Structure formats: C-alpha cells, structure tokens
Structure 1
Amino acid sequence: MARFFATCFHPETYEQVRFLRANLNWREDRTDRFLAALCLGALHGESHRSPNYFSNRMPRTISTKPAYSVRWWNERGYIAPSRDAFAILRHMVDFRFRTPPPRSRGEVAESDARKAKIAFPHLEGRVTDIITSPPYLDTTNYREDQWLRLWFLGEPPTSTQARNDGRHYNKVTYWSFLTEAWEGISPLLASQVRIVVRIGGRRLTKEEMFDNLLQSLKQGTGRHVQSSDNGITTPIKRTQANSFRGAKASPAVEHDFCFILG
C-alpha cells in the first residue's frame, strides 16, 4: 500500500490528507463532519480536469484497486499533482457559503432502511415522497469500490472484496431484501405516498423489475399500489470506471419507476 499512496498523492499533499484523517472528529463534531464530507468529495478524482482533487488521476465515483492504479499511472507517466488540501478546502467552503444556506433542514442517519422507524421515529406517518436507488443486482461492491474513502474515515487500507456490502447475487434473496426494506419504511408513510425507484441489474429485464417492485411494495407495505407510468429507461453510456480503464463501455441501462401508494 505504501507504493500506492506514494503514487496517488504528492508527498506534501499526502501528509495533509493524513493529518485531516487523524484529526477530524467527524462522528461527534458537526463542523468536522462537514469538513470530512468535503474531503471525501475531493479525495480523488479527475485531477487533470479540476484543481480541486487531492489525488493523481482517478475516477471520482469509485476508488480503483491499488495495484491496478499504480500500474496504470506508471504506464502513462502520470504523476500526482502537488495540491494544497487546506487551500482546496478553504475554496470549497467559500464557494458553498457565498449564498445563504437554504431554510429547509434535512436529516441524515447512518442506518439500515429496514430500521427506518428507529432512525426517524418523529416521522412516523408523515412521509409523502420517497426517492431511492437500491443496490443493483450483482453489480456493485460498495465497500470495494469506496475503499479509499473508507480508509480516510478510519478503516484499514484494503480493497479486498467484503461480504455483506449490500450486493446481492440471487434474484430471490434480492427481492426479499427489498420487501424487507419497504417493511422498514412502512411505519413512516403518510396516507398517500409517491415512491420513485431507480434500479438496474445485468440479469433483470425491465418487465421483471417492474413486476417484482410492484409485488414487493404491496407485500412490504400492505398498501394498495399502482404505477404512474411504464417507467423511463436510460442507457449508461460511459461510466467513470470505463473512462479510467480506457475500456469500451458495457451496454447497460437503468430504469426509473414511480409508484403511488394509497
């Protein structure tokens, strides 16, 4: 891993990143949590296109594996840019506070959707709109794809595949998982609710997704459920990972469905 960090970050930038990692008390301090969120956004990305990334050239959406990254950078002669992480953070803070923050307030909870009532007890019976994108079937390993950001948050620097990361391989267990998720949010729902779901999966047709979403919503909430349309399909033309690898993008699609629960 030492070789990866030496190639991913300029030495001075790396020392700043390590300082921020060690000293931001993001779990307990709101200000530190805000700064840590900015750090996660700037930790890696297309540094050849923007001066606001700390790293060597890398996708901003995923953290590519260490050995592959080092090989890719060396083959192309890419060197980590010298970036002042503190100056970047000051610039990002200034940008966000040039206009007053919105009056509306939001809440974020580190929780399982199946335990939504425990996370948001004060919202019981009040939620009228839900927008969600559950893990796609057999598509994304979240811990593996975000290993560098997880390292910044205090975990060991490992990119090995982890179990229980939210990815499902079996169709039956996948739809059972979503049914349990709807059961978890059910106590929070108002008398009429709109649920928008963006979903995809290499081994699922659009018809399968629609039918199973409809049935899982009915089973999980015990409500009358109807769709507002047939769903909108969007091709995933060029992913950031494919851009980094130089590979031809796979012909994948994702779908947006809207359901009304009475």
Structure 2
Amino acid sequence: MPNFSSGCSVFKGCSMSELQSTQLPISLVRPPGYKRKAGNANAVPAQRNATGRPVRVRRIRPLYAPLSLLKRSGLGPLPRCNQILSGIRSYKGQGSKTHACISNDIPYLINAFWRPNAGGSHPIQKGPYHACFSGNLAAFCIERFSPVGGIVHDPCGGRGTTAIQSALMGRIAYSTDINPLSLMMTRPRLRAITTDDIRAKLKTLDLQLKPIEHEDMLVFFHPQTLQQLEAMRRALAQFAPVDDAHPDPIWDWIRMAILFRLTGHTSAYLSRETVQPNAPTPTIAAQRRRNERSGLTAPERDLDEIIIARSKGFLRHGCVPNTHGHKLAVGAAWDTPWIADGTVDLTLTSPPFADVVDYAKDNWVRAWFAGVSLEDVGFSHHKSLTDWTNMVRRILIEQIRVVKPGGYIAIEVGEIRGGQVELERFVWDAAEGLPCKRICVVVNQQAFTKSAHTLGVTNGENGTNSNRIVILQRS
C-alpha cells in the first residue's frame, strides 16, 4: 500500500529577506512559438547605391540568435545534460524539425513535441480539471529528466497528472498541493483496484435517502440524484473521513470518481447540462439563469451507473503498475519538510498563472460534495507579477533543497493577459542567483488554444496557447 504523508510546518528553506522584490520589466514582444501575422512589419527599409539602384540587405532579427551561440554567451547547459538537449534538438517525432534560438538571452527549443490534448495519454489520466496540463507533457519530461525508479515531485499537484504519469512510467511519485481536493483526486488512482471491487462495494451499500438538505443545489441536480449524492456524502463521512490519512481504497476511489463526474455538459455527468467540465463551475445564480434560458428540466441520473462508467473509463488499460513508495501531502509548495534533502530526481510542476484561475470558486461544487472548505485555503492569486515571481522563487528555493545535485526542475507556464506576458521570462528571473543552472525553455507548438474547446475562444487570441517549460539543473 502506498505511503501517504501529509503535513506542513514552518518554512526553513530561506528567509524572506533573501527573496528579490525588485520590479521586473514586462516585455510585450511575442517570443518564439507564435506565427507572425502577414505584413511588412519586419521589412528592412530599402537601401540604394550611388546609381540609385536598390541594394539587397540581409535582414537581421535582433531578438533571435542561433543556439550555436550558447557556448560563447555563457548560457550553455551543464555537460551532463548535453545528451538530453541534443536529443530534444534533433527530435522529429511529429514530423517537424526543432527550432533553436535565443530570445532576450533565454535559449528556446521549439517544436510540436507532444500532442497538446489528452490523446495518447493513459485513460487513468483523463479526469477533467480546470487549468491542468496533459499526461503527454508530463511523459515528455519524466522520460528525459528522471531515471526509472527515481523520485518525481510535483509541489503544485492539482489533479495529479505528474504523480500518475510518474507511477505509470515506473517512478516514485511525490505530490504536494495546498488544496485538499488534490489529495482526494490523486491518491485513489495510485492504488491497485478493479471495477469488480468497486461494483461489489456498491452492491453492499444501502444508501439511506433522506429529505433534501441543500435545496439550492437543485439548480444542478434532479431531486432524486441530489438525494443520492447527499446520502453518499454521509456514507463517505462515516467510512472515509477527510482527515483519514489511510482511508479504505475502494471508498476513496468512489469519492474520486464522483468528484470527476459532478457537473458537465453531457449525460455522463450527474448534473443537468452546464458548462464543460474543464471550465470554471458556474455559481448557483449563473446556473439558474442558464436553466431559465434553456427551459429544460434536470434529468434523473443513477449514481451507481455513473460511478461504474467513470471507473471503467479510468481502468480501461488497468491501474498504475507501480503502487509502492508514493507520498502525497497537503501543504504549501514552498514548505515540504517531509521530503529529505537531495532525494528528488525531478521536480515537474505548473504553478498558478498569476491571477488567471480562482481555484476556490472553480471547485466549489467539488468542495461541497467532499465536505471541505476552500475559503480559508491560501491559494496563490497574484495580480502583481513581482509578487508572483517572488512566489515562484520561494518554490524554487525549496525544490533546490530537495532535488539531487545534477537533478532537474521543470516549471511549466504559459502566456497570459492576451498573450502579452510570457511567464517563462519571470521564472527565468526568479532562478537568478540560486544554485541551479538555467538550461533553456522548451516550447510546445500547438494549432489551437488549450482552452479553446472548453471555453469557445478563438485560436491564438484567448486562453493559454502554448506550453512553455523552463528547464533548470541543480548545481
């Protein structure tokens, strides 16, 4: 059985005075990874010789330089990772050649390295969650920057993508998140379980239906469905309480399956038609207005059938092969005293993108069902990019403590505020002066916005349009 640790004590990695708090410049120049719009914005003014004839001038791009200049610029990687970077530079898995360049003194490697959506991921990875990256991204980094049997840590665990992918690939998963829902969504999928186990548990369960207690939730659910959900909440509170560090694995799985199937836009979900599951969950008032516009009544759903259907989907290719040694914790990303110094091979994470996502509001229905309060959870929500950079620096200081010398830290970010702010540049600045080598930024090009399918935005205009992974190596 996996060893699940939890805890959060006083941060001892550094003092706040060590954190740089100077205002950082925001560059409005689009970095590599974007297709330039048609036009002559970059045209070089025509020059003419003494006879008046135009002279052909070689156009120089001031922002970009070949990666061959890395040695001379002092930005080159440590020798141990040269082979890894050489493999990334020569990668042609999607049929295109990797583009290497330097922008604002940051080396970039750009290509379609992995499929941006969930296609190709193991079925157990396909749980909807707002603001998450795909298992393909995690697989790309884990394969290259950690050994089989090594430890991979995600200090911003989210729905558990890094942890699950690490276990699938024969690594030991460590995961931390300040949101207790992260533990509930990740832990069950790191255990050995079968659909027969789940079906047998549901057959023996006699839910005691009672009058509805939370009538405001009828905007989402049919009365009979809501009665079943409330009865299941009471059963989970009895047999798998939230504060139990080692709950029954089948009860734990049932709660996780329901958390991933509470609200959505199809009959696969327990709710009536609402927003797609990767989008922020609407408020009660917003859902009531949506119901009035549609004029449709909430259909009755069978709770057991949806739990079994979701479990079959997760376990279509079986559970994770490695179920031993994993550790999960509820706590801040910069405070992981339960991890010993210099034991982690790779830290792979994606911190909150400034003030883009409100995790408490986005997950309020899940929190209601799980019986936890997210109001007092200290979610990171920084409008100031300086504050956000200082938060990233605190995370980096702690990860440098736990990562082995020569190990790697991979921080996935994107562009925000209409594509005008590229967060990888602020991560790069946050790592300055720390005992790590800043290697490069790996950019995965994709033909659609990551949010386009769920939010209905126009490609290249809204949402987060690319994955940008800052690669650091522990000195």
What do residues 46-84 of structure 1 show as CA deviations (whole Å, max 9, x unaligned)? 22xxx3310011221231111011111221123222111
Deviation at 1:45? 1.2
Cα distance in 1, alignment partners of residues 313 and 307 from structure 2: 10
Confirm whether residue 70 of structure 1 aligns to residue 288 of structure 2: yes
Amino acid across the alignment from 1:146: N
The 1:224–1:107 alpha-carbon spacing in structure 2 relative to 1, beyond 3 Å, is: same
Larger Rg: 2
Asked whether the 8 Å contact 1:214–1:225 carries over to 2, the reply is yes
Amino acid across the alignment from 1:113: A
Deviation at 1:92? 3.0
Cα distance in 2, alignment partners of residues 79 and 193 from structure 1: 55
Worse-matched range after superposition: 186-195 or 8-17: 186-195
The 1:52–1:189 alpha-carbon spacing in structure 2 relative to 1, beyond 3 Å, is: same
Confirm whether residue 183 of structure 1 aligns to residue 397 of structure 2: yes
Aligned-partner SS, 2:398 = helix
Asked whether the 8 Å contact 1:231–1:256 carries over to 2, the reply is yes
What's the Cα RMSD here?
Answer: 2.9
By relative contact order (CA 8 Å, sep 6+), the higher-ranking structure is 2
Deviation at 1:205? 4.1
The 1:88–1:210 alpha-carbon spacing in structure 2 relative to 1, beyond 3 Å, is: closer
Confirm whether residue 80 of structure 1 aligns to residue 298 of structure 2: yes
The 1:20–1:80 alpha-carbon spacing in structure 2 relative to 1, beyond 3 Å, is: same
Cα distance in 2, alignment partners of residues 41 and 63 from structure 1: 12
| TM-score where L is the length of structure 2 | 0.47
Confirm whether residue 107 of structure 1 aligns to residue 319 of structure 2: no
Asked whether the 8 Å contact 2:443–2:469 carries over to 1, the reply is yes
Asked whether the 8 Å contact 1:44–1:55 carries over to 2, the reply is yes
Cα distance in 2, alignment partners of residues 189 and 153 from structure 1: 33
Amino acid across the alignment from 1:132: T
Q: What is residue 269 of structure 2 aligned with on the other side? A: 53
Amino acid across the alignment from 1:86: D
Worse-matched range after superposition: 250-259 or 82-91: 250-259
Deviation at 1:164? 3.7
Aligned-partner SS, 1:108 = strand
Asked whether the 8 Å contact 2:263–2:269 carries over to 1, the reply is yes
Amino acid across the alignment from 1:15: Q
The one of 436, 445, 459 aligned to 1:223 = 436
Worse-matched range after superposition: 139-148 or 127-136: 127-136
| TM-score where L is the length of structure 1 | 0.81
Aligned-partner SS, 1:115 = coil
Confirm whether residue 148 of structure 1 aligns to residue 357 of structure 2: no
The one of 168, 171, 175 aligned to 2:382 = 168
Confirm whether residue 251 of structure 1 aligns to residue 471 of structure 2: no
Worse-matched range after superposition: 37-46 or 187-196: 187-196
Deviation at 1:170? 0.8
Cα distance in 1, alignment partners of residues 311 and 442 from structure 2: 42
Cα distance in 2, alignment partners of residues 210 and 99 from structure 1: 35
User: Which structure 1 residue ranges, 4+ long, deviate > 6 Å from structure 2?
Assistant: none
The 1:211–1:91 alpha-carbon spacing in structure 2 relative to 1, beyond 3 Å, is: closer
The 1:175–1:225 alpha-carbon spacing in structure 2 relative to 1, beyond 3 Å, is: same
The one of 32, 37, 44 aligned to 2:263 = 44
The 1:195–1:79 alpha-carbon spacing in structure 2 relative to 1, beyond 3 Å, is: farther
Confirm whether residue 92 of structure 1 aligns to residue 306 of structure 2: no
Deviation at 1:199? 1.6
Asked whether the 8 Å contact 1:4–1:70 carries over to 2, the reply is no
5+ residue gaps, structure 2: 1-212
Cα distance in 1, alignment partners of residues 376 and 430 from structure 2: 27
Cα distance in 2, alignment partners of residues 225 and 255 from structure 1: 18
Cα distance in 2, alignment partners of residues 183 and 52 from structure 1: 43
The 1:16–1:92 alpha-carbon spacing in structure 2 relative to 1, beyond 3 Å, is: same
**What percentage of residue pairs aligned between the two structures are identical?**
17
Larger helix proportion of the pair: 1
Asked whether the 8 Å contact 2:219–2:284 carries over to 1, the reply is no
1:15-26 mapped onto 2 (5 Å cutoff): 15-24=227-236, 25-26=240-241
What do residues 225-255 of structure 1 show as CA deviations (whole Å, max 9, x unaligned)? 221x463455345152x35xxx778523344
5+ residue gaps, structure 1: none
Cα distance in 2, alignment partners of residues 80 and 69 from structure 1: 12
Q: What is residue 209 of structure 1 aligned with on the other side? A: 423
Cα distance in 1, alignment partners of residues 263 and 303 from structure 2: 12
